[in-house]
Amino acid sequence: MQNEKIASIVSTFPCFAAIPLEQWQNTEAAVITLPARPVIEEGHIFQHASFVLSGSVRIYKLSPTGKELTLYRVKRGEVCVIMMASILGETGYEAIAETEEETELLVLPVALFKQWMDTYKELNQFIYRLFIKRMISVTSLIEDMTFLPMDRRVAELLLRKTNPHSGAPLYITHESLSLELGTAREVVSRVLKEFERRGWIRLGRGKISMLKRSELEKLSQVK
């Protein structure tokens, strides 16, 4: 691996900064690029640990009835903690991973990753801090699904996915929103149509325009 690429990796993942250049050059560490597609199925046994250098990976669960629930996304400078748990625990993968766009990954052979985890404190701390972060986010997701009404959850999702300083529409389907929320498309469509009736949004084919963001913000803050 070239020194310039190693420097770019360390810039994205400072937890690798303490690893000497010769260790990079004498290993099977590699950088690969994947197109947008499902890449890892549930039950997969990992031979490599992956670190996202660019792009986005959606991590989700699939119910016996075929319903998808998005757990979280892995972006630049992050890793999938469910993957890490599978590697460290030597168990099958407990989710499904899908690249949503062209994604560049650093891949380390499992044996090398475990060796570096044992040797370099910064890498060890980075992984376990991400465990805590994701545990909190998934717990929050479960709480939202259990306790929050659907209209508030839809409002919060629309607010998260749009820029308050831009009038650009959100290009997304009702089906995609339902997968994010772990519910049926018909439920999401019903809520969106109610928002449109109130004049808060305008629905188009594959897009949603925000007309009264302040009203959605009020709804999202209702206790």
pLDDT tens figures, 45-86: 999 999 999 999 999 988 887 788 889 999 999 999 999 999
Q: State the alpha helices, DSSP H only, in 70-212.
A: 81-89, 110-119, 121-147, 150-161, 174-181, 185-197
Percentage of the residues of the chain whose pLDDT score is greater than 90? 73
- C-alpha span between 26 and 114 (Å, rounded): 16
Beta bridge partners of 116: none
The three-state secondary structure class of 29 is: coil
- C-alpha span between 63 and 60 (Å, rounded): 10
pLDDT at 223: 52
Band of the pLDDT at 123, cuts 50, 70, 90?
A: very high
Mean pLDDT on 169-190: 90
Band of the pLDDT at 165, cuts 50, 70, 90?
A: confident
Residue 210 has pLDDT above 60, yes or no: yes
Query: Residue 201 half-sphere exposure, CB side, CA atoms within 13 Å?
Result: 23
The pTM of the full predicted model, rounded to 2 decimals, is 0.74
The three-state secondary structure class of 50 is: strand
Instruction: Report the CATH superfamily, name and number, of domain 3-145.
Output: Jelly Rolls (2.60.120.10)
- C-alpha span between 16 and 10 (Å, rounded): 6
**Crossing angle between the packed helical segments 213-220 and 150-161, to the nearest 10 degrees:** 130
- How many other CB atoms are there within 10 angstroms of residue 108's CB atom? 22
Task: Look up tokens 């928002």; give the residue.
Answer: 195
Q: State the sign of the Cα–Cα–Cα–Cα dihedral 134, 136, 139, 143.
A: negative
- Residues forming CATH 2.60.120.10 domain(s) in the chain: 3-145
Residue 59 and residue 141 in contact, taking contact as beta carbons nearer than 8 Å: no
- Residues forming CATH 1.10.10.10 domain(s) in the chain: 150-221
34 against 144, higher pLDDT: 34
Cβ burial, residue 89 (10 Å; 0-12/13-18/19+)? exposed
CATH 1.10.10.10 fits 150-221, yes or no: yes
